[in-house]
Amino acid sequence: MKMKANTPKGSGKGTDPIYDFVRNKDSPRKRIFYILVCSLLILCIAAAVLSIILHGKEKFILGADTGYEYFMTNNGLKWSRDGAESAVLRILKKSGINTVRIGVCVQDDDIGGRNYASQVALRAKENSLDACFVFFLSDEETSINNQKSPLIWDSLPVAEKADAVKEYSEATVRYFKTLGIKTHLFEIGNEIDFGICGVFAGHEAPQNDTQWLSENIWVSEAKILKACQEGILKADAKAEFVIHLASWTMTERCAAFIKTILENGVRVDYTGLTYFPSSSGVSDGVLATFEERANNLSVSSGKPVIISETAYPCKDSFPGIYHEWKSALLNYPLTENGQRNFLSDLLNFCYRHKNIKGVFYKNPEWYNGEWWAFALFSEDGSARESVDAFSIFKDPELAAIDYAEKALNETESNRISKQLLQEAKNELREGNIEKAKFLARSAEAEAEARK
């Protein structure tokens, strides 16, 4: 008996257009087109899966705290890149920055108040930059050493202060929304290891006694944090929260802090960290140490990490209150190249780490004040090569070779530099990325020394 070929149900001519489209022997162009479309879809799905594997669903934050930009611009200061004058936010955007970190003080009469912060945010919006608001819950920018209460709440007990914080936080977010400023990322406090909004341990407290801190500071602090979050959530149900700590070297204390506030109803979406490696006494001089501690904290706390503040100087001598922040990391001299390489490598590590979701550079725009050695612009407002870090960090070894070749082209014949550069290229071909990067940077340094 002659067997009939098995045909999918409903695959008769005119009944299944996709089947007819693929099987129609008279339409090879259609079949090729279909195959190409399917291949493209597979590639898109694969890229999406890879992105999720590397970073989860969230985008990676390439951020900067640019709180002085509005004030500097209004006072006639300028920025430029490659000889062309441009707004600093536009320069940073083109370099790869996607988010601006904006501080908000309770008092509204000076830099940092709600009105000032809204202007910074609107300028960011004009440049297609997202915003992350930092609620200091103080009349001034706070730090691990300073968590003063706003004057209007100074005499209130914790419970009443929490009520005031909740009302203020809701009103502030609603104010931003009326101006068309839309953001869902909020940092509650700044370096709040030992307190917030006047609930503060002080310098005489046993700062390594986590039980004492929990009982005397953190539980009360949690009431303020929770109230602030409740107010924000009333105005923005999609809000996410960063809890920012300064003591990245004290991972056990940081984890204990996170545990305590979670137990007291505070929501933690990200743990923020401060990382100023050139500050005396906070580092052993090796970038890998920070990488290890950040990883340990994300594991122990169960929360992803954001670097809320970081910076690195490009000079080994500078005046002002930060003049002691000049302890160089190994392989990162206090030069413009060292600054660029540090930032590039830090971004590379954070980008590739599944539990680190972003990095904010502290005041890259502030070249005319005490921060000028840490700024990414020189004293005349021209961009340093450090600005490139936000665009080259994914392939720092290739960038290192490009910079070495550029330096060689700008100097006289240099046998040592050429030899180092060739060795770097050889190592790269062999897949030895770190060694290639080191040799290429050595070649650049050798060439720069002979200019």
Residues 373, 443, single domain; the answer is: no
Element (H, E) at 64: strand 61-65
Q: How many alpha carbons lie under 13 Å from residue 139 in its C-beta half-sphere? A: 9
Residue 415 burial (CB < 10 Å; 0-12/13-18/19+)? exposed
Give yes or no for residue 10 having a pLDDT over 80: no
Residues 429 and 338 in one domain: no
Among residues 369, 390, 411, which one ends one of the domains? 390
Domain count, the chain: 3
Q: In this structure, are 114 and 188 located in the same domain?
A: yes
Q: Are residues 42 and 73 in the same domain?
A: no
Q: 309 and 232 share a domain?
A: yes
Average pLDDT over residues 69-89: 96
Give the dihedral of Cα atoms 33, 38, 41, 45; nearest 10 deg: -160
Give, in degrees to the nearest 5, the angle at Cα 349 between 345 and 350: 115
pLDDT at 125 over 60: yes
Please tell me whether residues 29 and 163 are part of one structural domain: no
Q: What is the pLDDT of residues 318-343, one digit of tens each?
A: 988 999 999 999 889 999 999 999 99
Same domain, 31 and 136: no
Domain of 41 in residue numbering reads as: 17-49
Residues 189 and 267 in one domain: yes
Model confidence at 55: pLDDT above 80: no
Q: What does pTM read for this prediction?
A: 0.85
In a domain, 6, yes or no: no
pLDDT surpasses 60 at 50: no
| 423 and 278 fall within a common domain | no
- Residues 135, 177, single domain; the answer is yes
76 falls within a domain: yes
Q: Which residue has the tokens 């730090």?
A: 143
Residue 353 counted as domain residue: yes
pLDDT digits (tens, 9 = 90+) for 231-267: 999 999 999 999 999 988 888 999 999 999 999 999 9
Domain membership of residue 271 (yes or no) is: yes
Assess if residue 156 is contained within a domain. Answer: yes
> Do 297 and 434 lie in a common domain?
no
* CATH code at position 106: 3.20.20.80
Task: For residue 370, tell me if it sits in a domain.
Answer: yes
Whole-number Å distance between alpha carbons of 202 and 149: 13
4 lies in some domain: no
Whether 51 shows a pLDDT value over 70: the answer reads no
Q: Amino acid identity of 249?
A: T
Residue 337's nearest CA partner among 345, 349, 325 is: 345
> Is residue 18's pLDDT more than 70?
no
Q: Please check whether residues 139 and 187 belong to one and the same domain.
A: yes
Top-confidence residue, 88 or 11? 88
Of the residues 49, 66, 90, which one is the last residue of a structural domain? 49
Residue 1 in domain: no
